[in-house]
Each structure stands twice: as structure tokens, then as C-alpha cells.
């Protein structure tokens, strides 16, 4: 039996430290070994206790969470889960933290929330098991020029699903896309309000237009649509003029939006005229939907184990037979373009 994941909780609020500790202590496979109220206390605790995982508040006195995270990743890389407010400022800071190398993020609970920090224990355990726990994330570089200027797009739709580790993974994939990329729809597991900031961040970093999906938005060449977090699932609909649909429905696989819901709709709408991609993430969301896509004739890609932050969703998809090609992250963008380019004898 594996030893419990040893966690250091860092937050300037004693109330929040107590709540996080109480939530994590309910899981027998997690052990909170210490608390710290600021970066100085946290640095001493890390040296003394050598935790497996750190939960880190974004906003702290003296040195904020981002500055401290950068020091951790340079001097003593380890899995860090960021704890953020649901504000626009909190979302921007969290996305920066994920690019620096944070393992994942959780949102601070709203008043009256029934299950505060509901997924935190699972994320802590996944972080403790992570094969990337001693590696810092590569720094994201702004895109200087549009890649693949001679790319001729065909008629395929691209659907991508991701979760833990997906911020860095999606940036790596989408920065390979040219300005005239195929219409692309994405479901990334992310707290509400964070997806708008993430879409804006991707739009600054990538050649195509990236936007948060809206109900009824037409799928167009050169546009990428990111599912909004929270209340609805993203689907595609209308075979004669494909568009985004945001549908109210219970969570699927514990998620809303769900990758399976997106992939199921793409399988039904586009069939062989689609490419499905499943990237790093916890759990199994998207695996069965990707299998439906492959059965419908779509080409399918899964991120390989070595380059995943968490080889969960891609592993299940691969084991189900949903993945046609399993590739390292650095090759996935190019492969998508190969599969969606217009053929020499005519547009697909």
C-alpha cells in the first residue's frame, strides 16, 4: 500500500488553511504535514518537511504566490497546486502559475458552496504520483510569426480535450497552428471565469483567433473555440452550417463541460471529417467519446505517457482502442495539420 501524499498548506488566511486541511484530512491517502502563512514560513517548512505536494495561495503578503512559485520551480521543483479566487485577476495569475509549472489549480469556494475544494484531494494524490514532479515547465514564448504559411486547410473539424496539464499542452499544440487553421473546438477542465482569461491568453499567443465559445457561433476557418467553464457543455451542431451549442445538462464523468459530450457531438456531426485529440488529464473523460469518433471514421490522436503531466485520460483512451496515433506533445500540432490539410487533388 502506497504511503499517503504528504502536503504542505500555504495560505495567509488561517481560516482558509483550516478549511483546506479539514478537506484533505478526510482522505486517508492524504496527510497534511504542515501549514505556512507566507512565503518565508513556507520556504522553511519545505526545507524541514520535504512535502510531496504544496498547495499555494496566489495572493499573499511580502511575496505573492507567483513569485514564490518561480523560486520553487528554479530551486526545488515539486508539484504545486494553486489556490485562487474566482476573479479575473485571480484567473490571470493562475494561468501564469500553470505556465510557470504549477501542477493544477483549484478555486476558492464561494459562500454557501456545498462541496468546497471537492476535487482537491484527488488532485493532490495525482500530483504526488506525477512523473513530472521534479521538472519545471518550459517557459512559453510569444508567437513571433504565423507558422506554416503555405498551409491549405481542408474541410475537417478538430476537437481537443484536456485537463490537468492542459494549459501548457494546449499552448504547445496551438502555437503550431497557422492563421488559417481548421475550425477547432476545445474542452479543457477549468473553473468558471478562468476560461475567458485562458481564451484571451491563447489568442495573444497563437496565430489563429481564439475565443470562448458562445451558443450559435459558426465554426470558421482560422478560429478556435474554448468551452466556457461551469454551467454548460460545449457541443457542435447543424451539419449544413456547423456551429457551437452550449447545452444545459448534468455533469458527465464529474465534469461540466465534459470532453465526452463534445466528442460525442463531433462524432455524430462530422464523422470522418474530424480529428479528435486527447491530451494530458486526470480520470477518463473523453475516452469513450474519442472511441465514438474513431468508430465514425475520424482520425484520432492521444498524447503519449512520457510527455503527459498526468497520463490518465490518454491512457484510458489508448486502452479502449480509441487512439489511432499516440504521439509526444511536440509532434501533435504538426500531425493535426497533416490530417486536416487539403489534398493535392482537391479540398477534402
How far apart CA 228 and CA 205 sit, in angstroms, is 19
- Count of residues for the chain? 348
How far apart CA 277 and CA 148 sit, in angstroms, is 20
How far apart CA 64 and CA 285 sit, in angstroms, is 34
Residue whose C-alpha cell reads 481560516 in the numeric block: 15
Helix residue ranges per DSSP H, the chain: 14-25, 39-49, 65-75, 88-100, 120-129, 166-174, 194-205, 259-270, 287-295, 313-320, 329-340
Q: Which helix (H) or strand (E) holds 345?
A: none
What is the Cα 109 distance to its own chain's centre? 20
How far apart CA 137 and CA 122 sit, in angstroms, is 21
Strands 53-57 and 80-84: what pairing?
A: parallel
For helices 329-340 and 166-174, angle between their N-to-C axes, nearest 10 degrees: 50
- Name beta bridge partners: 57: 83
The residues annotated with a catalytic role in the active site are: 163, 189, 285
Give the single-character DSSP code of 38: S
The burial class, CB within 10 Å (0-12 / 13-18 / 19+), for 221 is middle
C-alpha cell at 286: 473523453
How far apart CA 234 and CA 262 sit, in angstroms, is 6
Helix residue ranges per DSSP H, 206-312: 259-270, 287-295
C-alpha cell at 329: 506533445
Q: How many CB atoms lie within 10 A of CB 3?
A: 9
Amino acid at each position: 500500500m502506497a504511503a499517503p501524499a504528504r502536503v504542505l498548506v500555504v495560505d495567509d488566511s488561517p481560516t482558509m488553511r483550516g478549511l483546506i486541511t479539514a478537506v484533505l484530512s478526510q482522505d486517508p491517502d492524504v496527510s497534511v504535514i504542515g501549514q505556512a502563512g507566507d512565503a518565508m514560513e513556507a520556504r522553511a517548512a519545505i526545507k524541514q518537511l520535504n512535502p510531496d505536494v504544496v498547495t499555494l495561495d496566489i495572493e499573499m503578503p511580502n511575496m505573492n504566490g507567483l513569485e514564490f512559485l518561480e523560486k520553487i520551480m528554479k530551486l526545488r521543483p515539486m508539484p504545486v497546486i494553486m489556490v485562487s479566487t474566482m476573479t479575473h485577476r485571480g484567473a490571470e495569475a493562475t494561468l501564469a502559475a500553470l505556465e510557470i509549472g504549477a501542477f493544477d489549480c483549484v478555486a476558492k469556494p464561494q459562500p454557501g458552496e456545498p462541496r468546497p475544494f471537492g476535487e482537491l484531494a484527488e488532485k493532490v494524490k495525482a500530483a504526488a504520483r506525477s512523473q513530472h514532479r521534479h521538472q519545471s515547465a518550459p517557459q512559453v514564448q510569444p508567437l513571433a510569426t504565423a507558422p506554416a504559411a503555405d498551409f491549405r486547410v481542408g474541410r475537417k473539424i478538430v476537437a481537443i480535450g484536456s485537463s490537468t496539464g492542459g494549459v501548457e499542452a494546449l499552448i504547445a499544440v496551438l502555437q503550431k497552428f497557422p492563421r488559417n487553421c481548421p475550425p477547432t473546438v476545445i474542452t479543457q477542465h477549468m473553473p468558471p471565469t478562468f476560461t475567458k482569461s485562458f481564451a484571451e491568453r491563447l489568442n495573444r499567443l497563437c496565430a489563429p483567433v481564439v475565443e470562448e465559445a458562445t451558443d450559435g457561433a459558426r465554426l470558421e476557418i482560422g478560429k478556435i473555440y474554448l468551452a466556457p467553464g461551469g454551467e454548460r457543455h460545449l457541443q457542435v451542431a447543424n451539419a449544413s452550417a456547423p456551429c457551437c451549442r452550449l447545452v444545459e445538462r448534468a455533469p458527465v464523468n464529474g465534469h461540466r463541460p465534459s470532453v465526452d459530450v463534445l466528442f460525442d457531438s463531433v462524432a455524430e456531426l462530422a464523422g470522418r471529417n474530424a480529428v479528435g485529440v486527447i491530451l494530458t488529464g486526470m480520470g477518463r473523460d473523453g475516452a469513450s467519446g474519442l472511441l465514438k469518433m474513431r468508430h465514425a471514421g475520424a482520425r484520432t490522436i492521444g498524447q503519449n505517457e512520457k510527455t503527459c503531466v498526468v497520463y490518465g485520460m490518454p491512457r484510458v483512451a489508448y486502452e479502449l482502442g480509441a487512439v489511432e496515433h499516440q504521439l509526444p506533445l511536440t509532434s501533435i500540432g504538426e500531425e493535426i495539420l497533416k490530417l486536416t490539410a487539403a489534398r493535392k487533388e482537391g479540398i477534402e
